[in-house]
Amino acid sequence: MGTKFQLLEELTKRTLENEIEENSCFTSNDLSDFMQMSRNTVSQYLNEFVKEKKCIKVNSRPVYFFSKEALENKWKITLDKTIYTSVSELCANKENDFEKIIGYNGSLKDQIEQCQAAICYPPQGLPVLIYGPTGTGKTMIASSMEEYARHQNIIKANAKMIAVNCSEYANNPELLTDNLFGHVKGAYTGADDETEGLISLADGGILFLDEVHCLKPECQEKLFQFMDKGVFHKVGDNENWYSSKCRLIFATTENPQNALLKTMLRRIPIMITIPALSERPLIEKHEMIFKMLQVESQRLHRKIHISNLAYQTLLEHEFKGNIGEMKNAIKATCANVFVKRQEEEMQIHLLDLPGYLFDESKSVSMNAYNLKTETMIDISEQNKDQASSNPLIQLYERLLETYQLYKKEQINEDLFVTHCRSFITNFIDYLFFKGKYKTTTSNEEYLLKMVDKIYSIVMNKYSLIIPNNKIRVYSKMFVEYAKNVTEARIWTSVHAQEVDEFKQLICEKYPRAYTIADEIIENADLNLDIHMDSFMWVVMGFAFLEFQPTSHNGRVGLILCHGYSTASSIADTANHMLGEHIFDGIDMELQTSIDKIATLVNSYLKEKSPIQELMLLVDMGSLEDIYEKINPLLECNIGLINHVSTASAIEIGNYIKQGKKAKEIVQEIQKVICYYSQLK
């Protein structure tokens, strides 16, 4: 067992000290010779390490082995596989130079191209100034510029990158001058020997001056000669010129126009602005959080899961200290969990975060926070190209795919709308099916009540009749969205351009449905603190298409019932069986007055105007007299049938489809069903 452990130690050492390439030092033959063990034993041990996920195996000729942990630490990545077909396939996992910077092909693409240009420009590159708030990654970008220069053979392998924090010399410009340019013997008291300055030490490499705004004007001026001609005087020697061919990178958190001399700025041809974390795309912040968690997972040798609510809090918090502060918050969180819960798999919950993060959270989710119901996210499963198992995201993907087909003119508008509404209906069916076997939480009940109130406001404003069962449907959709808001917003940010186009299409094609959806979503934002993504306008817009004015050939069916969703349920079932929209339903509480019901009915009839034939189907009691309260100015024939049921609604709906008048329908229905009826 000791020999086996020593073999792994030796492989780890070789992995760290050598370039990852087709090198015989990574073969079992070379290892067996070095360890003085039989080749069969070494091969057996190495393959056991592969099964235990301690080694990486490359199935080429010859076969190569690498220490997985050493390779991950060396490349600062997480490897998902342990067996590869070639060294080049393995090396494809390595993030080179600027690729390790999140946003290198996104929000920072232009800045990185400028960095490359500054490094490559002959003969010694161009001075570059990196400007951005504290914690935005300026030092990391400077380091990536150095790596890029080495890998492109722009600077030699033994060339140095020397970093200087100018803030340390803000009150001692003479010391900075001495450190930068060096001095000769006897330059001042105590200068017993000649000393090389940092500019000389960085010859052939890079000199990085951070916090350059802290330089006094006289210090800035002393750099001019070197920036112009590449030569300088040492302190105490104004006769001899010394030279250095180092590239210059400056960084500052202050506005360069205010912090640096104009004569200094003229000598810096490339200025790069790094945005604050709050200005970066959501998908990039998402990637940063998971990369930081993966780094901590490797450091602690623990698998990490984070709750959706904790992750959402990290994602939504505006870190004043930008990436640096977020990194510290994640480190502090992991340290807190590591100390409190000594488990193989670390679970990060909301209350594990630093207090200042969740204290500021005002989301509805906080109203009924429950540790037991938190959804956990496995960080090792993030950033992989795989289909989402989240039903809400699956709905988004299907809707977007349908939009793409419509955009390419592969389907017409009718089919486009039909498919989209079908996907939304299937999603709603899933929500109700799932809800049958699950107890509604207090948080969900709160949401349902609030959404009900929001819909009441909108219904009054737009003279809408939205059945209670539909309101409950949309309430459940809001609940589902609140649970998956993080993943939904990430998905939307990835597909931002097409989502905006889709949203604009709904706005232009169906303005009324879009306006209603906009009103609902704005109210949800204001009253529930649920900040919905752009795609929810699309989903809700399609949902409200059924409340668009529809053609009815002057013949309308309306069902009035007491109960939360009795009328709307009968109407939905009858319409489905009839194959077209014949009936609307108005649900009422038992205590609703006949005058209020009449007001709702009159608003509905006004929306449907003009009407020639109206069939009213009611359940009982005072509703039988509703026809007396209907607007007397309404010039139409009214037939009223009581004790409505699904069967009678379907029967009456068939007569309406046939074009029969109210009087004829009442006469026909009396022949087959003994119901009270009236004509007006």
Each domain of the chain, given as residue ranges in start order, spans 2-91, 99-275, 282-379, 391-547, 555-679
**Segment 478-520, tens digit of pLDDT:** 878 877 777 788 888 888 889 999 999 988 888 888 888 888 8
Locus of tokens 């406001």: 457
What mean pLDDT comes out for the span 589-601?
A: 77
Which residue would you say has higher pLDDT here, 363 or 552?
A: 552
Backbone angles phi, psi at 164, to 5 degrees: -130, 125
Q: In what order do the strands lie in the sheet with 64-67?
A: 64-67, 55-58, 83-84
What mean pLDDT comes out for the span 570-575?
A: 85
pLDDT at 548 over 60: no
Q: Which CATH number fits domain 2-91: 1.10.3720.10, 1.10.760.10, 1.20.1250.20, 1.10.10.10?
A: 1.10.10.10
Percent of the chain with pLDDT over 70: 87
Instruction: Give the pLDDT confidence score for residue 423 in this predicted structure.
Output: 87
Strands 55-58, 64-67: pairing is antiparallel
Percent of the chain with pLDDT over 90: 33
- With 0-12 / 13-18 / 19 or more C-beta atoms within 10 angstroms meaning exposed / middle / buried, residue 21 is exposed
Instruction: Give the pLDDT confidence score for residue 117 in this predicted structure.
Output: 93
Instruction: Give the pLDDT confidence score for residue 211 in this predicted structure.
Output: 94
pLDDT at 469 over 80: no
**Segment 170-220, tens digit of pLDDT:** 888 888 889 999 999 988 888 889 999 999 999 999 999 999 998 888 888
Backbone angles phi, psi at 579, to 5 degrees: 80, 10
Superfamily of domain 99-275: P-loop containing nucleotide triphosphate hydrolases (3.40.50.300)
**CATH T-level topology, domain 282-379:** Helicase, Ruva Protein; domain 3 (1.10.8)
**Segment 236-256, tens digit of pLDDT:** 998 999 999 999 999 999 999
From residue 72, alpha-carbon distances to 98, 271, 334 in Å are: 18, 34, 20
How does residue 31 score in pLDDT terms, banded at 50, 70 and 90?
A: very high
Question: Could you please report the per-residue DSSP string of 613-629?
Answer: EEEEEE-SGGGGGGGGT
Asked if domains 2-91 and 555-679 share a fold, the reply is no
What mean pLDDT comes out for the span 567-593?
A: 81
Which two three-digit tokens encode residue 321? 């200290």
Instruction: Give the pLDDT confidence score for residue 671 in this predicted structure.
Output: 74
| Contact present, 585 and 575 (Cβ < 8 Å) | no
How does residue 525 score in pLDDT terms, banded at 50, 70 and 90?
A: confident
Helices assigned H by DSSP within 510-553: 511-528, 535-543
**CATH T-level topology, domain 555-679:** Rossmann fold (3.40.50)
What mean pLDDT comes out for the span 616-631?
A: 69
pLDDT at 634 over 70: no
**Segment 106-164, tens digit of pLDDT:** 899 999 999 999 999 988 899 999 999 999 999 999 999 998 898 888 998 889 999 99
pLDDT at 440 over 60: no
Highest mean pLDDT among 431-440, 487-496, 593-602: 487-496
Highest mean pLDDT among 124-133, 232-241, 386-395, 649-658: 124-133
Which residue would you say has higher pLDDT here, 325 or 380?
A: 325
Which residue would you say has higher pLDDT here, 285 or 486?
A: 285
User: Following CA atoms 648, 652, 654, 659 in sequence, which dihedral angle do they give, to the nearest 10 degrees?
Assistant: 180
pTM of the complete model: 0.62
**How open is the CA angle 200-205-210, to the nearest 5 degrees?**
85
